[in-house]
């Protein structure tokens, strides 16, 4: 899945990312079905991409 724009905002910063490729990391297998994309997958995918 590609998300066109991801914005992360804090009290003193704002960071924008474009065309973020998001892959499921299956962090919540206790609640969600396998390979379901959640918000944490967006953050983890950004980390994977450096």
Helix (H), strand (E), coil (C) string for 1-50: CEEEEEEEECCCCEEEEEEEECCCCCCCCCCCCCCCCCHHHHHHHHHHCC
Q: State the pLDDT at residue 31.
A: 67
Q: State the pLDDT at residue 15.
A: 96
pLDDT digits (tens, 9 = 90+) for 11-35: 999 999 999 999 988 877 666 677 7
Q: What is the pTM of this model?
A: 0.75
Q: State the pLDDT at residue 43.
A: 94
Q: State the pLDDT at residue 34.
A: 75
């Amino acid at each position: 899945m590609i998300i066109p724009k991801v914005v992360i905002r804090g009290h003193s910063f704002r960071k924008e990312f474009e065309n973020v490729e998001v892959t499921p990391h299956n962090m919540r297998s206790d609640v969600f079905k396998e390979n379901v994309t959640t918000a944490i997958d967006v953050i983890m995918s950004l980390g994977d991409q450096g």
